[in-house]
Structure 1
């Protein structure tokens, strides 16, 4: 199932008090946001489930008719973790504040509040959320190694390498442009110095190239040097 895209500067206000919801919406819209409003807890999950796009932020009241805000926060975070959530609450007991944050709400605002504070806190949460998404997003045309997990990632996609294939790629990637003979590569592949044919290296290189080509069909980063060996050369 495709993950619905987040629509920048779109905010869902879940608040059962019409005056508060209208006031917050007016200030957000005056600051360039697009808003949607729901006034019943039971309407939130169906509304999100039926959409091909999602708001970037939800302002979620704690006390709602139907499903309460904490339950909704937990469910939204599990099903749509990229949506930012700010809890709105008139219950200022410390346990509620802690519980709201333990459910992975990004922030909370206590009633009564200034609408300007809601706008400012919304902008701050979205800045943090966008920065986190940018940090997690794979950099295009990047081949990287997760050495602790023994994985190679092309544009963030796991290539599914065997241990020997990972060893081969790691050795060459650590010295881009350096030509490794088959004998040198065998020393890294098999530390027990078992006797293997040079054709074994060729076979592993062929499989490694094939796995890379499944993600990058038009790029060749492992190159043969006739009569010498192989090298990792990501750029011409």
Structure 2
């Protein structure tokens, strides 16, 4: 899981990087608002640790933009800032932040808050099964069921379904799917994603059930929660 740290103090970036990597997270960083918006597109993080006061574009404005953007509206955001007044915390939460940590903070507290936000966003995180709508994936036995029906999937379709279900409700671009399922250092054409999504849909919707993989025109795909 990748976390993007958006912070203009190098020492704080390194402190966060050390603690996050110690917990097994991949870490990317950005040092101002413009760099952050670019990094969100390029790095495709699973969570944002966002400083309030940033050069060029403030953390509040970044959070506001994300919540208005269909692709990133569900990206978890924890704001990290020296501003500890109640009015500031309320403002940060009002623009869509999932949680708020004031400096100075303990690394243990931050990790606990990160885990709490991830659990709220994805209650199945860390489980041996994934369940969205009437689809259940057994991550140990590599089995998939929809309702009472067992579904047979190839390895790529299985990885694709898992990636979708772990991010259910989020709109994912073809580039995100390529990087997440095939890997960032593997060259695969965009149309390959469409081919495997067609196969996945055919397997999931064999009995005429509602299609859970929604096509978002000119953007990508979204696995529906219901």
After TM superposition, the score normalised by the length of structure 1 is 0.53
Structure 2 vs 1, CA of residues 142 and 62 (structure 1 numbering), >3 Å: closer, same or farther? same
Structure 2 vs 1, CA of residues 13 and 220 (structure 1 numbering), >3 Å: closer, same or farther? closer
Aligned to 2:36: 44
SS at match of 1:58: strand
User: In 1, distance between residues paired with 2:49 and 2:18?
Assistant: 14
After TM superposition, the score normalised by the length of structure 2 is 0.56
Q: What is the Cα deviation at residue 103 of structure 1?
A: 1.1
User: In 1, distance between residues paired with 2:55 and 2:123?
Assistant: 34
The aligned runs of 1:77-226 (5 Å cut-off) are 77-79=67-69, 80-131=72-123, 137-140=132-135, 141-142=146-147, 218-219=206-207
- The runs of at least 4 consecutive aligned structure 1 residues that moved more than 6 Å come to 132-136, 214-217
Q: What is the Cα deviation at residue 93 of structure 1?
A: 2.0
What are structure 2's unaligned runs of at least 5 residues?
A: 136-145, 149-201, 210-226
Greater gyration radius: 1
What are structure 1's unaligned runs of at least 5 residues?
A: 1-8, 144-213, 222-236
User: In 2, distance between residues paired with 1:78 and 1:38?
Assistant: 21
Q: What is the Cα deviation at residue 45 of structure 1?
A: 1.5
